[in-house]
Amino acid sequence: MRYISTRGQAPILNFEDVLLAGLASDGGLYVPENLPRFTVEEIASWAGLPYHELAFRVMRPFVAGSIADADFKRILEETYAVFAHDAVAPLRQLDGNEWVLELFHGPTLAFKDFALQLLGRLLDHILAKRGERVVIMGATSGDTGSAAIEGCKACDNVDIFIMHPHNRVSEVQRRQMTTILGGNIHNIAIEGNFDDCQEMVKASFADQGFLKGTRLVAVNSINWARIMAQIVYYFHAAIQLGAPARSVAFSVPTGNFGDIFAGYLARNMGLPVSQLVVATNRNDILHRFMSGNRYDKDTLHPTLSPSMDIMVSSNFERLLFDLHGRNGAAVAQLMSDFRSSGKLSVDDGIWHEARRLFDSLAVDDEQTSRTIAEVFAQTGEVLDPHTAIGVRAARECRRSLSTPMVILGTAHPVKFPDAVEKAGIGRELELPAHLSDLFDRPERCTVLANDLATVQAFVSRHGNRGKPL
Ligand SMILES: *Cc1c(COP(=O)(O)O)cnc(C)c1O
Q: Per the domain annotation, does 33 fall within a domain?
A: no
Number of domains, the chain: 1
Contact 253, 308 (CB under 8 A): yes
Whole-number Å distance, alpha carbon 256 to ligand 1 midpoint, is: 7
Asked if residue 303 has its Cβ within 6 Å of ligand 1, the reply is no
Asked if residue 143 has its Cβ within 6 Å of ligand 1, the reply is yes
Which pLDDT score is estimated for 184?
A: 97
Pairing of strands 248-253, 405-409: parallel
Which pLDDT score is estimated for 174?
A: 94
Which pLDDT score is estimated for 428?
A: 82
Asked if residue 140 has its Cβ within 6 Å of ligand 1, the reply is no
Q: Per the domain annotation, does 217 fall within a domain?
A: no
pTM above 0.85, yes or no: yes
Asked if residue 257 has its Cβ within 6 Å of ligand 1, the reply is yes
3-state secondary structure the chain: CEEEECCCCCCCEEHHHHHHCCCCCCCCCEEECCCCCCCHHHHHCCCCCCHHHHHHHHHHHHHCCCCCHHHHHHHHHHHHHCCCCCCCCCEEEEECCEEEEECCCCCCCECHHHHHHHHHHHHHHHHHHHCCCEEEEEECCCHHHHHHHHHHCCCCCEEEEEEEECCCCCHHHHHHHHCCCCCCEEEEEECCCHHHHHHHHHHHHHCCHHHCCCEEECCCCCCHHHHHHHHHHHHHHHHHCCCCCCCEEEEEECCCCHHHHHHHHHHHCCCCEEEEEEEECCCCHHHHHHHHCCCCCCCCCCCCCHHHCCCCCCCHHHHHHHHCCCCHHHHHHHHHHHHHHCCCCCCHHHHHHHHCCEEEEECCHHHHHHHHHHHHHHHCCCCCHHHHHHHHHHHHHCCCCCCCEEEEECECHHHCHHHHHHCCCCCCCCCCHHHCCHHHCCCCCEEECCCHHHHHHHHHHHCECCECC
Alpha carbon separation from 117 to 76, 81, 114, 175, 286 (Å, rounded): 9, 10, 6, 18, 28
Asked if residue 258 has its Cβ within 6 Å of ligand 1, the reply is yes
Which pLDDT score is estimated for 330?
A: 98
Whole-number Å distance, alpha carbon 386 to ligand 1 midpoint, is: 8
Asked if residue 386 has its Cβ within 6 Å of ligand 1, the reply is yes
Whole-number Å distance, alpha carbon 308 to ligand 1 midpoint, is: 6
Q: Which residues are the active-site residues?
A: 112
Asked if residue 463 has its Cβ within 6 Å of ligand 1, the reply is no
Whole-number Å distance, alpha carbon 362 to ligand 1 midpoint, is: 15
Q: Per the domain annotation, does 131 fall within a domain?
A: no
Given the CA of residue 384, which atom of ligand 1 is nearest to it?
13
3-state secondary structure 91-133: EEEEECCEEEEECCCCCCCECHHHHHHHHHHHHHHHHHHHCCC
Q: Per the domain annotation, does 89 fall within a domain?
A: yes
Whole-number Å distance, alpha carbon 306 to ligand 1 midpoint, is: 9
383: containing domain: 84-109+227-422
We report the CATH number of the domain holding residue 252 as: 3.40.50.1100
Q: How far apart are CA 86 and CA 133, in angstroms?
A: 33
Q: Per the domain annotation, does 301 fall within a domain?
A: yes
**Probe target for ligand 1 pocket from 111, 173, 313, with the most ligand atoms within 8 Å of CB:** 111
Whole-number Å distance, alpha carbon 255 to ligand 1 midpoint, is: 6
Given the CA of residue 260, which atom of ligand 1 is nearest to it?
9
**Probe target for ligand 1 pocket from 109, 140, 143, 277, with the most ligand atoms within 8 Å of CB:** 143
For residue 4, the Cα-to-chain-centroid distance in whole angstroms is 21
Given the CA of residue 104, which atom of ligand 1 is nearest to it?
13
Q: Which amino acid is at 167?
A: N
Instruction: Give pLDDT < 70 ranges for the chain.
Output: none
**Probe target for ligand 1 pocket from 308, 319, 360, 415, with the most ligand atoms within 8 Å of CB:** 308
Given the CA of residue 386, which atom of ligand 1 is nearest to it?
11
Q: Per the domain annotation, does 427 fall within a domain?
A: no
Q: Per the domain annotation, does 245 fall within a domain?
A: yes
Asked if residue 411 has its Cβ within 6 Å of ligand 1, the reply is yes
Given the CA of residue 313, which atom of ligand 1 is nearest to it?
8
Whole-number Å distance, alpha carbon 450 to ligand 1 midpoint, is: 26
Residue 259's nearest CA partner among 233, 290, 230, 234 is 230
Pairing of strands 185-190, 446-448: parallel
Which pLDDT score is estimated for 257?
A: 96
Whole-number Å distance, alpha carbon 195 to ligand 1 midpoint, is: 17
Which pLDDT score is estimated for 43?
A: 98
Q: Per the domain annotation, does 239 fall within a domain?
A: yes
Q: Which long-range contacts (CB under 8 A, 24 or more apart) does 40-49 make?
A: 40/244, 40/270, 42/270, 43/235, 43/239, 43/243, 43/244, 43/270, 43/271, 44/244, 44/245, 46/235, 46/239, 47/239
Asked if residue 102 has its Cβ within 6 Å of ligand 1, the reply is no
Which pLDDT score is estimated for 159?
A: 97
